[in-house]
Amino acid sequence: MRLKDVLSPFLAWKHLFSPPVPVRKPLEREAAPRYRGFHQNDMEECIGCGTCEEICQNAAIDMVPVEGIGTRDGDSGLRPRIDYGRCCWCALCVDICTTGSLTMSNEYQWIDTDPDVFRFVPGAEAKPWDERKKGYRKPEHYELYNTERIPMEEVPPEARSKSFIEIVKGYSKAQALREADRCVECGICIATCPAHMGIPEYIKAVREDDMEQALRVLYETNPLPEVCGRICTHKCETVCSMQYKGDPISIRWLKRYIADQVPAERYEEILGADAVEQSNKKVAVIGAGPGGLSAAYYLARLGYRVNVFEERAEPGGMMRYGIPEYRLPYDQLDKDIGYIRSLGVKMTFNTRVGKDITLEQLHKDYDAVFAATGLHQGRSTRVDGADHPMVFQAIDILRDVTEGKKIEVAEKIVVIGGGNVAMDIARTLARLQNQKYGKVQLILTSLESEDIMPADLEEIVESREENVVIEPSWGPGSIKIEDGKIKGLNVIRCLSVFDEDGRFNPKFDQNETNFFEADQVIEAIGQGMDIEYMTKKFEDRLEMTPRNRVKVDIFGQSSLPWLFLGGDITGGTDAITAIADGHRAAKGIDKFLNK
């Protein structure tokens, strides 16, 4: 050992009595390219899901509102604020970040005399390292969760094309547990669900294999889980935070899994129906569709005596008379409805309000009325030839199929329309053509181009699998008739459907035409409502909106305080919206009757 090595530690002592030297910027040295330094957050990419806050083992992150960032579908409007008094730069928040917006720069020097500035919202408070390219990013080769959804097994097209057998097979327990395991429980989906279902809560129950708890969570906001587990439009999945790195969670299939696991006989025991106290007040519900059934369920839960008046012979509305059996088997619908009826909800069938009984009578006999009569009148294209007997309304045929009536099925069919009803009728008739002729000759034509067709993507895909030919971007011109028989449909090119303001205002190119051969034409371009039963008598007292709909408040209450409305007649577009309307109306009626 050299003498210098022994003495050098003592040399530092010469500074012992020198005044301290504050160093403003002690190092001019850049950190390593993947150094875990100060945070960066891309404000546009971040959706405020709070998963960073959840995983932080130091409780260093708060989710806070940030000026200029609003709350909307798929974005809570909150952003993470990090307390550098607690952060240990472990980067778990970066690794878990669902959108990949949160990263770390390689900056490591930040000097200030005010300790409070070290609690900041990265990305919202400008910092010198905001644009820094170097720093820690989540490595590509691993994810803290599975980004791909567990695929759903389906009956293959060959096996289903001639029958109405249910296509989707449903998850097994192992599949459901693995799918549920992908959810980060951020809850962003809840606001987007029209019924605001407790989605993370029931997915958690699936993960914990607690089906009783899962069923209770479902029934808090939705008394038709077998139905919605199959045919829901699942808007929740469009905002799922898992979609940014992979597939959104199969929320709909997990809901179906729960309902499928619990046999009907156990519902009463699990959901505890006997605790309901009966009130003397009576409520009439018009229409046994999703809106009416939902209102009936929650009103019965609140103790009201409910009677549902239904025009048809069986309950379900569009769920039974619109949606085909291969998407929603009748026994599953009956399971949901059976439980609602078991609560003492009365149902009066084959009774059309306005014909068999008047609304005034219901008003006289009941304390409140909830009307959810839906849209059951098919709209016509009114093109030349549309009054021919071989031109049908989709909704009429779908109803006849459910009722087991004999259906006119020609060898060549054209369906006009691009929504889910058009898909339902096309796929129903394709099956019937297959049964009758052994092949499918069916063209579905829509105004919309394929990217903006209102039908669900899976409907378009599955229709094609079942040999339906889809011809988008055509407007119906006229139906060609020779010797009293339909020969086909003349169409003209549709250039755009909506104008700059987003209003329905289709533009056509008259020079580009086409002709689709057919012996039968089906119109599926939408349905209208028939609410004469209320407007006729109460016209002068029922306030209408500028678009000629009955004006209602958030609970569905009209200007006649005893009359509540919901579902498609107040602007809903699907079952889950109607279910939400029914639930809100039940709360509104309860408030109205307890004033």
Could you list the residues that contact another protein (CB under 8 A)?
48-50, 53, 56-59, 61-65, 70-72, 76-78, 83, 85-86, 116, 119, 186-188, 190-191, 196, 200, 554, 584
**Nearest to residue 330, comparing CAs of 401, 270, 396?**
401
Distance CA(380)–CA(241), nearest Å, equals: 41
In the numeric block, which tokens belong to residue 285? 């519900």
> Closest CB to another protein among 123 and 385?
123
CA atoms within 13 A on the CB side of 325: 18
Of the two residues 12 and 59, which places its CB atom closer to another protein in the complex? Answer: 59
SS (H, E, C) 35-64: CCCCEEECCCCCCCCCHHHHHCCCCCEEEE
Strand partners, 286: 309, 371
Q: How far is CA 440 from the centre of its chain?
A: 32
Least distance to another protein, CB of residue 72, Å: 8
Closest approach, Cβ 593 to another protein, in A, equals: 19
Q: What is d(CA 362, CA 316) in angstroms, rounded to the nearest whole number?
A: 21
Identify which of residues 62 and 212 has a Cβ nearer to another protein in the complex.
62
Q: Which is nearer to another protein, 64 or 165 (CB)?
A: 64
C-beta of 140: minimal distance to another protein in Å? 21
What pairs with residue 442 in β-bridges?
A: 413
Q: Which is nearer to another protein, 49 or 443 (CB)?
A: 49
State the minimum distance, in angstroms, from the CB of residue 473 to another protein: 35
Query: Phi and psi of 148, rounded to 5°?
Result: -100, 135
CA within 13 Å, CB half, 468: 30
- Cβ closest to another protein, residue 85 vs residue 571: 85
Where in 108-215 does DSSP place strands (E)? 119-120
Number of H helices, E strands in the chain: 21, 20
In the complex, minimum distance from the CB of residue 50 to another protein, in angstroms, rounded to a whole number:
5
24: number of Cβ within 10 Å: 6
How far apart are CB 73 and another protein at their closest, in Å?
8
The distance of closest approach from Cβ of residue 550 to another protein in the complex, given in angstroms and rounded to an integer, is 19
Q: How far from 417 is each of 31, 259, 466, 496, CA to CA, in Å?
A: 61, 33, 17, 15
Nearest Cα residue to 46 out of 30, 27, 68:
68
Q: Which is nearer to another protein, 189 or 395 (CB)?
A: 189
Q: What minimum distance in Å lies between the beta carbon of 85 and another protein?
A: 6
Least CB distance to another protein at residue 446 (A): 32
Is 414:407 a contact under the CB 8 Å cutoff?
A: no
And the tokens for 483?
A: 């010797």
Our CB check for another protein shows the closer of 74 and 454 to be 74
Q: State which residue, 47 or 395, has the beta carbon closest to another protein.
A: 47
Under 8 Å between Cβ of 569 and 529 = yes
The Cβ of residue 268 has, within 10 Å, a number of other Cβ atoms equal to 13
DSSP 14: G
Minimum separation from the CB atom of position 74 to another protein (A): 10
Least separation, in Å, of the C-beta of 66 and another protein? 11
Specify the DSSP class assigned to residue 115. G
Q: CB-wise, 58 or 351, nearer to another protein?
A: 58
109 within 8 A of 27, measured Cβ to Cβ: yes
- C-alpha span between 62 and 93 (Å, rounded): 12
CB of 584 to another protein, least distance (A): 6
Give the residue with the Cβ less far from another protein, 200 or 225. 200
Helix (H, G, I), strand (E, B) or coil at 346: strand
From edge to edge, which strands make up the β-sheet containing 119-120? 61-65, 78-83, 119-120
Closer residue to another protein, CB minimum distance, 195 or 337? 195
